[in-house]
Amino acid sequence: MKTKNTLFTIATASLFVFASCGQNADKTSESDKTETNETTKSESASSEPESKSQLGNFETLVGNWTVDAATAGLQMDISFTDDGQFHQKMGESHNQSGTWEIVDDQHIKIVTPSTEGQTWLVTDLNDESVNICWNPDSEKPKTIPFQRAE
């Protein structure tokens, strides 16, 4: 009879031990899942790209701009693309294309076949207009007020 009671006690104790181990494993598993979910949320939040464009202050510059002959001495149309392409039409016959890149918060660099790089000063940029100075380091810099072209 003692053997039966001992076996019953061992079996009952084993059940409690295994039952409690399973509950701890579930608690640990749930805790691990919570920590993993929080880590994943944190990592995905930090790895999301910033909503700000790589063009920074010059995002609004992308597009077509124009100035009339009465303002600039001749009709000029310029365009900037977000992938760095640049096109300029001056008057009826002078066209040139090239690239543009950001130098700093107020300057861009224009590179065309006829220039190895010309730095322009860009001021008062908004959705409708921009002032561009072609020769900011000159003794007599000329700033041209462009309007957004339709």
Q: pLDDT at residue 36 above 70?
A: no
Domain range annotation of the chain: 1-48, 56-148
Tokens of 41: 């949320």
pTM of this prediction exceeds 0.85: no
Pairing of strands 143-148, 107-112: unpaired
Q: 87 with 99: CB under 8 angstroms?
A: no
Residues 58-112: tens digit of each pLDDT: 999 999 999 999 999 999 999 999 999 999 999 888 899 999 999 999 999 999 9
Residue 15: what pLDDT? 39
User: Token match 């001992």: residue?
Assistant: 6
- What is d(CA 2, CA 8) in angstroms, rounded to the nearest whole number? 10
Tokens of 107: 């300057």
Residue 148: what pLDDT? 97
- The CATH classification of domain 56-148, taken from the options 3.40.50.300, 2.70.180.20, 2.40.128.370, 2.60.15.10: 2.40.128.370
